Amino acid sequence: MVAIVLFYVLTIGELLNTVLFPTHPVTSWLMLSSAASTTHSLRLARAQDKKVSYVWLLAARRAHAQHQEVLKELYAYSQSQISPFSESELVYEITASDPADSDNKSKLFEYYLKNQMIDVFYRDLYKWGADAMDEEWTPKLYIVGYDFLKRNDPERALVFWQWAAWLSPSWSHMWIEYATLLQSLGRHEEAVRALKKCSKDIYAGAHCLDLLEDFKMNDPPPLGFYNAIIRGDLHEK
């Protein structure tokens, strides 16, 4: 009941503000009628360093939850002003509105790394993958996977190493680590297939081919053998 009363008080206050200060860019609820006008209002508020009410911001998010341009403007506004949203929820919603956008995904995954949210990172990497992300993500994904190995969770580590290898088709060390992890999980045929794929690459091929027989004889290098090279982002091409 208190929450309902508070909502109406704030709403009436907002409407009065519209009448008293008609030049304010975001006091009119009509501005929420479209994603374009909402986005324009938020940009104008940022440009003029205007504070926008929580009620309006919450309404904008609710009305345009599927519109990436509005979510991005809400995120930008939240970087310059106090808002009811946390950084993580807005970045997540921006990514969820278009998981195929690699820039959004990179920003979200960077946030997870910065805040050491590796369990949530696993959830979203498993759900959305890492298609079209830059090769620079290979060592980052490898490191998180290695952390899961240290937590005795090789299945989750595998998701990170699979994408790490996929993003760097010419990096033999990453493919060998990925194949070694597959082998350690008893997935011998998949490990051999991964090395065969790597062996066809013009740069990584010779190295992967050299180790292919070892894998066939079930004698791969130990897990983490190339840890220092991959963490240091040292390519041998």
Average pLDDT, the chain: 80
Tens of pLDDT along 82-128?
A: 777 776 677 777 777 777 778 888 888 988 898 888 998 999 899 89
Q: Where are the beta strands (DSSP E) in 120-189?
A: none
Range of the domain at 70: 2-98
Q: Which residues contact 126 (CB under 8 A, 6 or more apart)?
A: 159
pLDDT digits over 34-79, tens only? 778 877 877 887 788 778 777 777 777 777 767 777 777 777 777 7
| 30 belongs to a structural domain | yes
- Please give the Cα distance from 28 to 22 (Å, whole number): 8
Rg (CA), the chain: 24
The packing angle between helices 188-199 and 205-216, to 10°, is 160
pLDDT digits (tens, 9 = 90+) for 159-212: 999 999 999 999 999 999 999 999 999 999 999 999 999 999 999 999 999 998
Among candidate residues 55, 73, 98, the one where a domain is terminated: 98
Query: Of 53, 72, 98, which residue sits at a domain end?
Result: 98
In a domain, 114, yes or no: no
Residue 64 falls within a domain, yes or no?
Answer: yes
* Same domain as 212, residue 148: yes
Q: What is the CATH number of the domain that holds 151?
A: 1.25.40.10
